[in-house]
Amino acid sequence: MALAPRLLLLTVLLTTGLARAATVSTEVSGVEGDLLANVRASVSLVQAEQLDDLSLWRLRQMAEEARPEIEQALRPFGYYRPRIQVRLIEPEDDSDHWRARLNIEPGPPVRVDETIIELRGDGSDDPALKQWRQDWPLETGDRLDHRQWEESWRELEKLAEERGYFQARFDERRVVVDADRQEADLEISYETGARFRFGDYRAPDQPFSPSLMNRLHVIKPDEPYSVERLDRQREVLVRSGLFDRVVVEPERDDERDRVDLHYRLEPRPPNTWRASIGFGTDTGARMQLGWTRHYLGSRGNRLEAALGAQQRNQEYVFQAEYRHPRGSRPSEFLTAGTTLRSEQDNFRFYDEDRVEPVFEAYDGRREQTELTFGRMRERTLWGDRSQRLEERLFVSILNESFDAFREGSFSPENEALLAANPELQTFLDTENRAIAFGGRWRLPQITGSGFNTRGSVWRAHLIGAHESAGSDVNFAQAWLSGRWHLLLGERHKLRLRGEAGYTEADTRRLDIGLDDRSLDLTITELPERYRFKTGGDRTVRGYGFENLSTNRNGANHLLVGSVEYEYRVGENWSLAAFADIGNAFNDFDRRKLKRGVGVGFRWYTMIGPLRIDIAQALDDVDKPWRLHFTIGTQLL
């Protein structure tokens, strides 16, 4: 008997067409933005648009379910009394394609009438939790938004966990909605409990002395727990350069309200060797070899040495620096270093308003020997632990010489010029000593790599020397440099660069003449090591390497600026357009800033960016476009 009614029902369905397959499209009106998106994500009729074999019986059932589904989709946004019309429109032909129209009037939203938030326990006076309360988004009169409500109380939970309130709990967390009055009351009662504090640390099986490990442990005993401080501790251990692997495991002790730290550290091999090559139109081929002894003993003493050679000017450089840990801070050292530099140089005779030299240059060999003793440390700026200023205070002993006579390659013009102007001899065979005191600072804020590098790097130095301290020259110098990398979307980048230098130092003026040619020379008494020069691949493009300065022999002052736009074409390459301006000079009233513009190509490789620039020197209009090509890092 039970089978007969089922057969009868099936017959009715087939004859009425309710079992036929159908498709549907849905139109939603009356809402937009987030409301529309949530409705379309929540209503079955909308989801049914993806179905090709929907029965008419199921279609009508979905139409009946649409109203409560829409009501639920609107409530997270505070709309509890909407007016909803759901209409199914039959096909006008034999296509079996139905249309559904949903007309929604959200009505007036529920608004917050009263907000009660109570924080109890140690966290009631915590500045971070107080700031969370000040940032609470739902105050009296605001539209009730359940998403903001949930995000906010979850943020409180996360913040409490990060700051060591491991026993915190909600005593009350509720939203009471009166849909008829269109009002809602919010209540949060949060018991933070005690804030945990840092306890001891363990670092077993280390070859380093307890004093060094204590120095690397920057968290003070009984310091309030925070994830930020834990991350800072990991960073200090990683940046020490002593370990290949750093794991910091917090171990919570609920009975003592303490968090002890267990360091699992794997020391790195003591020696690192490195080699690199590069090429530039300014420098020719260049090569560097380096060696770092990361620790000379259990106290973490460090030694670093490097040797570099450059094709242009046959330049050779050797550098070495020893670092001795000082005090209780992990980033503070006493330093001793040396730099030995030898290069082929010349004394030049250029008029600032002319491209070609007035007289032939005197070739010679320049030798520099510098010893530096100082202290280096990191400083935290403006209370922001992520803003770390690298500081070096030092005394430098520089011996510098230039000898054009040793080369023995004077041309007839060189000899005639020297005979007519014997005062030149003091500039062609020089030796001086400069004992300088000063400081250097660097503030890097760089993230990413390749094209995606962004942020800024600031550099500055203050240096002075005086005869009373045993120096052969008197001078005081200030220098500031800034570089910015600004990403504008995924393909656009703006590079800005600025540089300024000022030196208080004497200059000498010479009137040089030979036959019908004459030149007014202005020479600074600064050692070559401290003179400003610009022009070339990495400064003012369109001009030769270090060809911009008073008479091209270096100067007391410097001004440089650059703006470059870069467009990313491929994964690792891009196109650029730029404009540079700058000069080095002895007199601010005669600074004569030189301009250069051009276009370029960038290819980001493992050994550094390959840069090809074609630039025009706007103030040397009779010169053709200049090609600038660089790859790899600069010389030491």
Would you list the DSSP string of 479-541?
A: EEEEEEEEEETTTEEEEEEEEEEEEE--EEEEEEEETTEEEEEEEE-S-GGG-B-B-STTSST
> What local confidence, expressed as pLDDT, does residue 72 receive?
94
Higher pLDDT, 75 or 327: 75
- The reported pLDDT for the residue numbered 11 is 41
Buried b (16+ CB within 10 A) or exposed e, 429-453: ebebbbbbbbebbebeeeeeebbee
pTM above 0.85, yes or no: no
Q: How far apart are the first and last CA of the chain?
A: 99
Neighbours of 30 (CB within 10 A): 16
Average pLDDT over residues 213-224: 92
What mean pLDDT do residues 533-555 have?
91
Residues 105 and 591: their CA atoms lie apart, in Å, by 70
> 635: which 2 tokens?
């010389």
Read off the amino acid at residue 605: T
| Residue-averaged pLDDT of the chain | 90
The two three-digit tokens of residue 67, written as one number = 């109203």
pLDDT band (50, 70, 90) for residue 409: confident
SS3 at position 211:
helix
∠ Cα 598 601 603 (to 5°):
155
Separation between Cα atoms, residue 432 and residue 459, nearest integer Å: 28
| Residue 137 clears pLDDT 70, i.e. is over it | yes
Distance from C-alpha of 439 to C-alpha of 372, rounded to nearest angstrom: 12
Decide: helix, strand or coil at residue 469: helix
Mean pLDDT value across residues 313-335: 92
Angstrom distances, CA of residue 393 to CA of 238, 320, 548: 25, 17, 30
C-alpha to C-alpha distance for 70 and 456, rounded to whole angstroms? 50
Query: What is the residue whose two structure tokens read 């007014």?
Result: 520
DSSP code at position 106: -
pLDDT score for 386 = 60
* Residue 257 pLDDT > 60: yes
459: Cβ–Cβ under 8 A, 6 or more apart, which residues?
A: 440, 441, 442, 443, 479, 480, 481, 482
The reported pLDDT for the residue numbered 14 is 42
User: CA 597 → CA 162, 499, 540, 591, 594, distances in Å?
Assistant: 51, 18, 9, 19, 11
Look at residue 259 and tell me whether its pLDDT is greater than 50: yes
pLDDT in tens, 19-71: 556 888 899 999 999 999 999 999 998 888 888 778 888 889 999 999 999 99
For the chain, how many residues are written? 636
| DSSP character string of 360-429 | --EEEEEEEEEEEEEEEEEEEETTEEEEEEEEEEEEEEEEEEEESTTT----HHHHHHHHH-GGGHHHHE
Mean pLDDT score, 247-269: 94
C-alpha distances in Å from residue 14, one per residue of 10, 24, 58, 59, 587: 6, 20, 15, 16, 101
- Comparing 226-230, 246-250, 586-590, which segment has the lowest mean pLDDT? 586-590
224 DSSP 8-state letter: B
β-bridge pairing 429-447 and 384-403:
antiparallel
Report the alpha-carbon distance of residue 430 to residue 72 in Å, rounded.
Answer: 88
Residue-wise pLDDT tens digits, 439-479: 999 999 988 888 999 999 999 999 999 999 999 999 999 99
CA angle (419 as vertex; 414, 424 as ends), nearest 5: 75
pLDDT of 634 reads 66
How many whole angstroms separate alpha carbon 531 and alpha carbon 630? 24
pLDDT tens column, 364-396: 999 999 999 999 998 887 655 567 899 999 999
Domains of the chain: 21-105 (3.10.20.310), 111-191 (3.10.20.310), 197-267 (3.10.20.310), 271-631 (2.40.160.50)
The whole-number pLDDT of residue 623 equals 76
Amino acid identity at 306: A
State yes or no: pLDDT of 624 exceeds 70.
yes
